[in-house]
């Protein structure tokens, strides 16, 4: 990481010192470096205690000060829950209070060294995030191609986030390109000579991610905004040099660099960099792939789109099944308003477990559920017909399914160099 031109200044202005104090406290709270220890074997207990203390403070401050919501919804994969906003308010409040206290007790004229190491920390944080998200995009794991259930859902029923998700997942090359740019940004940030270029690439990448989250209501807005701002934070110190070069067409000097004069310093730096890559890049990726490999796939009943040509037993017309989709894995969806299933986009989603010996199929709301919603006996006269018999709630039902060869043009992944007209 290069030092900035600010580091040539022996005395900082009052505003510069105030901004640094606030930024330093807030950035450290947001990135939670101690929380990273949770990924390191042997030190994960310390990271766990740090997370518990932070969680307690966030909930306590929300209860007595912020009142975002009486009961906070955990982050659960999204940073835009009520807990995420309570956490944001807590970080801002502590940063403001800490800045006041720091200003009162500290009389130093500059923070050159502290600023340099804060830049290094932010640089590695952005690199870690960019590499993680970039790699899973390279393998097409973040966004998926629209499954049959999505293709059978009217476009107007999809929410903006799901629409955007399928837009990217539809094209494997585009998703690969998006991931490759993120990986390039992460790799460039790991080396001092290319860190400024890496910050430029990262800022461009996360600007696009931030705008997509904001415009398509994707619930990772807080996180993506921070990634964009932190990427630009890496460029602030070099703002004058960069403006002279790119905007004002003026000569500018190279940024000064931290020179490690002793061999043990250089070796320590290399060792720490290797340890960082192993712990925060290689290890998580290997864990991801190992968790994805769950052994032989369970037995499937069928794959495809089935119309319901027989439905006997239920007295409520709104609970009747109109069509059934069996996905390539052990999941599917039903065109029904029955809330017994996981309702999404006017379809009831389910997972199932097949017992081919007993000829029974157990329907579950989620794949991880240990208890089935109901179990039905099945017969298959041929590959195009399925008959289900059993009880749903207390009603004995008989359901006849017939395969329909639905033709979805979107599933063809069409591409034309020559297009005579808009289609």
Q: Answer yes or no: is pLDDT of 357 > 70.
A: yes
Mean pLDDT of 133-144: 90
φ/ψ (deg, to 5) at 159: -80, 155
**By C-alpha distance, which of 90, 114, 87 is closest to 102?**
114
Query: Percentage of residues in the chain with pLDDT exceeding 90?
Result: 62
Identify the pLDDT of residue 292.
64
pLDDT band at 294 (very low <50, low <70, confident <90, very high): low
> H helices within 62-194, ranges in order?
82-105, 112-138, 148-151, 160-170, 172-189
Task: Say which residues have a Cβ less than 8 Å from residue 61's Cβ, sequence separation at least 6.
Answer: 86, 89, 90, 93
**Least confident piece of the model among 75-84, 213-222, 367-376:** 75-84
pLDDT per residue as tens digits for the range 224-235: 999 999 999 999
Q: Answer yes or no: is pLDDT of 17 > 60.
A: yes
Identify the pLDDT of residue 191.
87
**Least confident piece of the model among 87-91, 142-146, 265-269, 417-421:** 265-269
Element (H, E) at 355: strand 347-355
**By C-alpha distance, which of 86, 99, 94 is closest to 59?**
86
φ/ψ (deg, to 5) at 386: -135, 135
Q: Answer yes or no: is pLDDT of 37 > 80.
A: no
Using CA atoms, how far residue 330 sits from 116, 303, 307, 384, in Å, is 52, 9, 18, 18
Q: What is the CA radius of gyration of the chain?
A: 27
Half-sphere exposure (CA, 13 Å, Cβ side) for 339? 0
pLDDT per residue as tens digits for the range 363-377: 999 999 999 999 999
Query: How would you write 244-270 as a 3-class SS string?
Result: HHHCCCCCCCCCCCCCCCCHHHHHHHH
Q: What is the DSSP letter of 7?
A: G
Identify the pLDDT of residue 272.
78
Query: Percentage of residues in the chain with pLDDT exceeding 70?
Result: 91
pLDDT band at 4 (very low <50, low <70, confident <90, very high): very low
Q: Answer yes or no: is pLDDT of 79 > 90.
A: no
**Domain residues of the chain, as ranges?**
5-258, 304-403
Query: Cα separation of 326 and 306, whole Å?
Result: 8
- The predicted model scores a pTM of 0.88
């Amino acid at each position: 990481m290069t030092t900035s031109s600010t580091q040539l200044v022996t005395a900082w202005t009052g505003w510069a010192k105030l901004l640094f104090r606030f930024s330093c406290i807030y950035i450290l709270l947001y990135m939670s470096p101690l929380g990273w220890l949770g990924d390191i074997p042997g030190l994960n207990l310390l990271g766990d205690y740090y997370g518990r203390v932070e969680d307690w403070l966030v909930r306590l401050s929300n209860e007595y000060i912020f009142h975002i919501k009486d009961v906070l919804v955990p982050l659960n994969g999204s940073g835009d829950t009520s807990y995420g906003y309570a956490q944001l308010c807590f970080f801002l409040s502590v940063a403001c209070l800490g800045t006041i206290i720091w200003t009162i007790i500290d009389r130093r004229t500059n923070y050159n060294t502290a600023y340099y190491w804060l830049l290094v920390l932010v640089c590695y944080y952005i690199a870690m995030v960019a590499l993680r998200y970039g790699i899973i995009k390279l393998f097409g794991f973040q966004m998926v191609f629209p499954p049959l259930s999505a293709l059978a859902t009217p476009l107007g029923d999809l929410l903006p986030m799901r629409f955007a998700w399928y837009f990217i997942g539809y094209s494997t090359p585009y998703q690969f390109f998006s991931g490759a740019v993120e990986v390039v940004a992460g790799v460039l940030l790991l080396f001092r000579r290319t860190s400024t270029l890496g910050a430029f690439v990262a800022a461009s990448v996360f600007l696009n991610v931030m705008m997509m989250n904001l415009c398509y209501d994707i619930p990772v807005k807080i996180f993506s905004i921070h990634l964009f701002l932190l990427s630009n934070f890496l460029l602030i110190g070099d703002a004058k040099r960069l403006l002279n070069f790119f905007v004002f067409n003026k000569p500018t000097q190279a940024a000064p660099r931290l020179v490690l004069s002793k061999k043990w310093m250089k070796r320590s730096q290399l060792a720490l960099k290797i340890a960082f890559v192993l712990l925060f890049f290689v290890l998580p990726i290997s864990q991801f792939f190992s968790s994805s490999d769950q052994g032989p796939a369970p037995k499937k009943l069928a794959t495809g789109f089935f119309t319901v040509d027989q439905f006997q037993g239920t007295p409520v017309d709104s609970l009747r099944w109109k069509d059934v989709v069996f996905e390539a894995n052990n999941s599917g969806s039903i065109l029904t308003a029955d809330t017994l299933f996981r309702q999404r986009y006017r379809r009831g989603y389910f997972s199932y477990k097949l017992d081919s010996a007993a000829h029974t199929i157990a329907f579950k709301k989620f794949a991880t559920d240990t208890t089935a919603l109901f179990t039905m006996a099945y017969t298959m006269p041929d590959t195009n017909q399925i008959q289900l018999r059993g009880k749903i709630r207390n009603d004995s039902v008989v359901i006849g399914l017939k395969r329909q060869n639905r033709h979805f043009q979107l599933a063809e992944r069409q591409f034309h160099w020559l297009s005579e007209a808009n289609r």
